[in-house]
């Protein structure tokens, strides 16, 4: 059971890292973050 918890934690950490990289890519690219969030909230 402890291995399952480690796997889930690693998966969540990897997903968080991918989201941070995508977010910083949007910022460095000069894209409008507000427009992206509005698109997701529709």
List pLDDT tens digits, range 16-27.
999 999 888 888
Among 6, 7, 10, which Cα is nearest to 18's? 10
Longest Cα separation, the chain: 44
Tokens 């402890």 sit on residue: 2
pLDDT in tens, 1-42: 688 999 999 999 999 999 999 888 888 887 777 787 888 888
Buried b (16+ CB within 10 A) or exposed e, 21-32: eeeeeeeeeeee
Flag whether the pTM goes above 0.85.
no
- For 9, other C-beta atoms within 10 Å of its C-beta total 10
């Amino acid at each position: 059971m402890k291995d399952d918890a480690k796997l889930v934690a690693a998966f969540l950490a990897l997903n968080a890292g991918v989201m941070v990289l995508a977010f910083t890519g949007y910022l460095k690219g000069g894209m409008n973050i507000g427009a992206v969030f509005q698109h997701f909230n529709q």
